[in-house]
Amino acid sequence: MKSLIMIIVGCALINNVVLNQFLGICSFLGVSRQMKASLSLGVAVIFVMTLASAVCSLLYTYVLAPLSLDYMKTIVFILVIACLVQVVEMFLKRKSPAIYRALGIYLPLITTNCAVLGVALTNVQDGFGFAESVLAGFGTAVGYTLAIVLLASIRSRIREEDIPAPLRGAPIVLISAALMSIAFMGFANLSI
Amino acid sequence: MNKYIERLQNGIFKENPTFVLMLGMCPTLAVSTRAINGIGMGLSTLAVLILSNMVISLLRRIIPGQVRLPAYIVIVASLVTLTELTLQAYMPALYESLGLYIPLIVVNCIILGRAEAYANKHPVGLSVMDGVGMGLGFTLALTVVSMLRELIGNGTLFGARVLPASIEPMAIFVQPPGAFLILAVIIAVMNALGIKSRQRHLVEEGCNGGCAACGRACDQRKGTDEK
């Protein structure tokens, strides 16, 4: 039990997917302009990443590993993720239009979010079982959401400041991300 | 012949994928801790990019428009797997240090972006040259970023000590925050010098338009906004 909680904490805080491993930078910098969009994307990522980790873990354990097709995992995982996103999109459209309106537009973005593929591959690399993979996927996605929501709230304040002209736009956002990354380094010594 | 040279210049300078188009930020930030890693990542991406542009250009009349993105992803993923196995066999040290970021070349926006923006509309020769140009531009950018980080953060270049021992290296620059800082400084200098880049596009519009799938998301979002 303790080790399972540690997986979530480790993935969300200690090895934060954006600030420590640099996965999903595109959407982290792009979508964080608006708070509401960041939250919606975060929820969508939590949903897809947990699901993708589960499906990829099952596929790897019961199909790829027994057939010793280990080298096919990149191709299989990216296809699974792309299909999964499509299925989730169609399902939401049909069953829950309200959620679809809120999240739908961010779902295609997630296909190319390298964090999802990254987690699926890391789970295999670390030899995680099913439960561990799902928790790692969930924890990583929570870390992603935390990072993007924090950056969005920093950016909403930056907009009101008088920033030197060359630093406007990407540089000041990157500097904010650097400071967040320094803050997250403090979690490195965290242990339960 | 000029058209081919123009493609090279376009990739390396005019539309440098990292500094001007702002594509492929993840590997740029992640592996640039040491110059040798930067070059290794750049060259791996170059290889995949040349091959993917070639294959996609050859198949451009065969792949139906509606399923082109999944088709591209399968092609790119196969090429990345080839590259990964080659590195594992012949350059195990580099393979170890790049680790997870080799399979992640699949989702590098530069590759899908070039397939969508160039290779599926142009003949093979030009597409290959486009891949060479873009790949070299990416390699150059990664090398610059990683040399800066290694020099400031570790006092070395390609593993050889450059700064005298009396200067204490700032270790933060080889750690994750340093990647964000270096990139921020580079873009700020480019802004100050008046070099145009799409960085505003990157942080203001939510996706970098060159990338195929992100572009699709953008279109959809525009669609829903209008409704």
| Sheet strands (E) in chain A | none
> Is pLDDT of B201 > 70?
no
> Is pLDDT of B216 > 70?
no
Say what the pLDDT of residue A153 is. 94
Which of B32, B107, B187, B207 to probe the A interface (max A CBs under 10 A)? B107
Residue B81 at interface with chain A, using a CB cutoff of 8 Å: yes
Residue in A187, A135, A192 with CA at minimum distance from that of residue A16: A187
CA distance A83 to chain B (A): 9
Going by pLDDT thresholds of 50, 70 and 90, the confidence category of residue B205 is low
Residue in B84, B81, B82, B63 with CA at minimum distance from that of residue B72: B63
Contact state of B188 with A171 under an 8 Å Cβ cutoff: yes
Which of A103, A114, A184 to probe the B interface (max B CBs under 10 A)? A114
Query: What average pLDDT does the structure give for chain B?
Result: 84
Say what the pLDDT of residue B214 is. 44
Say what the pLDDT of residue A141 is. 94
Most confident of B45-59, B110-124, B146-160: B45-59
Percent of all residues in chain B with a pLDDT value above 70, rounded to a whole number: 87
What residues 96-125 of chain B have any CB closer than 8 A to a CB of chain A?
100, 103-104, 106-109, 112
Nearest to B217 among A25, A109, A179 (CB): A109
pTM: 0.86
Percent of all residues in chain B with a pLDDT value above 90, rounded to a whole number: 43
Report which DSSP code applies to B55: H
Contact state of A78 with B106 under an 8 Å Cβ cutoff: yes
Q: What's the rounded Cα separation, in Å, for the pair B82 and B66?
A: 27
Nearest to A29 among B27, B84, B203 (CB): B203
Interface predicted TM-score (ipTM) of this complex, two decimals: 0.87
Phi-psi region at B24: left, alpha or beta (left = phi > 0; alpha = psi -120 to 50) = left
CA distance A176 to chain B (A): 9
Q: What is the mean pLDDT of the segment spanning B94-120?
A: 88
Q: Which residues of A touch B75 (CB under 8 A)?
A: none
Report yes or no: B69 and B120 within 8 Å, Cβ to Cβ: no
Q: Which residues of B touch A30 (CB under 8 A)?
A: 202-203, 205-208
Going by pLDDT thresholds of 50, 70 and 90, the confidence category of residue B217 is very low
Beta-bridged to residue B139, according to DSSP, are none
Say what the pLDDT of residue B137 is. 94
**Mind listing the pLDDT tens digit for each residue in A122-146?**
999 888 899 999 999 999 999 999 9
Report yes or no: A184 and A16 within 8 Å, Cβ to Cβ: yes
Phi-psi region at B34: left, alpha or beta (left = phi > 0; alpha = psi -120 to 50) = beta
Which of A28, A78, A103, A180 to probe the B interface (max B CBs under 10 A)? A78
Q: What are the two backbone dihedrals, phi and then psi, of residue B161, each rounded to the nearest 5 degrees?
A: -65, 130
**Mind listing the pLDDT tens digit for each residue in B132-161?**
999 999 999 999 999 999 999 988 888 888
Nearest to A22 among B179, B203, B220 (CB): B179
Going by pLDDT thresholds of 50, 70 and 90, the confidence category of residue B51 is very high
Other CB atoms within 10 Å distance of the CB of residue A50: 21
**Low-confidence residues of chain A, pLDDT below 70?**
1, 104, 111-112, 191-192
Where do the structural domains in chain B lie, given as residue ranges?
A: 3-174
